[in-house]
């Protein structure tokens, strides 16, 4: 394999959760550009339909199916549907997530559970479903979890989210260790705050958060763009990263460096 083609995903099937908007949508499109077919899931099927139209207009293959990543039954149904449609699946990108800013003293149990389920529980059970399929079918694939810089350092106003993403980082290591014997690599990408409707709303809701984005992203002084997160994801999913597993790649413009 050449030094260029090793960065491609030609002929592979890739699942991207939470692909309706933001980083997930960009990852799904870049998967197609990398030569793979994609299966996408999200609670908002209208956005998935528009993504499918865009991908098919590019000549790519896209399978869509509703997915609530906080509901284990929905996860099981989704992965069964993808397997029935495509057969072998080679890559899972656990992108779906959710957050709402607040001080730790102000969170109630309902919102805490909502955030942790959407960011940690979903990674556990989606990865479990994917690994079961890969092991049963003898697929030597890989999983890329979208974590966050908030899981690497303290993150005021993001307590439950920060704890969940820190859990994702360590869960990534544990899954990588358990599944290495089956040829399944597991890594994480920990982005800085990236342009999306959720991030832009958070900056409007909290001046302190907006100020942190402007001062702590040393390379930019602003939000990262989705394409800057998608490219590292594609790298980790490709054979160019064939000796990398259990690693969290921080893509944060220097936020956690100082």
Q: 98 an active-site residue? A: no
| Composition of the chain by helix, strand, coil, percent to 5 | 55, 15, 30
Please state, in angstroms and as integers, the Cα–Cα distance from residue 119 to each residue in 8, 71, 143, 151, 242, following that order. Answer: 28, 12, 15, 11, 26
Tell me how far apart the alpha carbons of residues 9 and 16 are, in angstroms, rounded to a whole number: 14
Question: For every residue of 155-209, which 3-state class applies, written as one string?
Answer: CCCEHHHHHHHHHHHHHHHHHHHHHHHHCCEEEEEEECCECCHHHHHHHHHCHHH
Structure tokens that stand for 20 in this block: 């309706």
Between CA 146 and CA 169 the distance in angstroms is 9
Catalytic residue among 86, 98, 112, 161: 161
Catalytic (active-site) positions:
161
């Amino acid at each position: 394999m050449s030094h260029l083609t090793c960065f491609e995903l030609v002929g592979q099937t890739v699942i991207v959760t939470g692909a309706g908007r933001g980083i997930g949508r960009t990852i799904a499109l870049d998967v197609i550009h990398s030569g793979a077919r994609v299966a996408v899931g999200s609670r908002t099927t209208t956005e998935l339909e528009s993504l499918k139209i865009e991908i098919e207009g590019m000549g790519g293959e896209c399978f869509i199916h509703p997915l609530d990543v906080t509901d284990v039954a929905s996860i099981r149904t989704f992965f069964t549907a993808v397997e029935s449609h495509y057969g072998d699946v080679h890559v899972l990108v656990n992108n779906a997530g959710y957050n709402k800013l607040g001080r730790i003293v102000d969170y109630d149990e309902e919102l805490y559970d909502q955030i942790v389920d959407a960011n940690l529980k979903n990674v556990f059970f989606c990865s479990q479903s994917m690994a079961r399929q890969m092991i049963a079918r003898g697929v030597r694939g890989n999983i890329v979890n979208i974590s966050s810089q908030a899981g690497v350092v303290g993150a005021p106003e993001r307590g439950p989210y920060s704890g969940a993403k820190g859990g994702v980082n360590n869960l990534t290591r544990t899954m990588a260790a358990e599944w290495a014997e089956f040829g399944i690599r597991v890594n994480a990408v920990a982005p800085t705050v990236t342009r999306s409707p959720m991030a832009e709303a958070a900056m409007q809701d909290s001046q302190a958060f907006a100020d942190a984005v402007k001062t702590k992203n040393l390379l930019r002084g602003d939000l990262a763009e989705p394409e800057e997160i998608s490219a590292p994801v594609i790298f980790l999913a490709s054979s160019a990263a064939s000796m990398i597993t259990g690693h969290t790649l921080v893509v944060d413009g220097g936020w956690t460096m100082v």
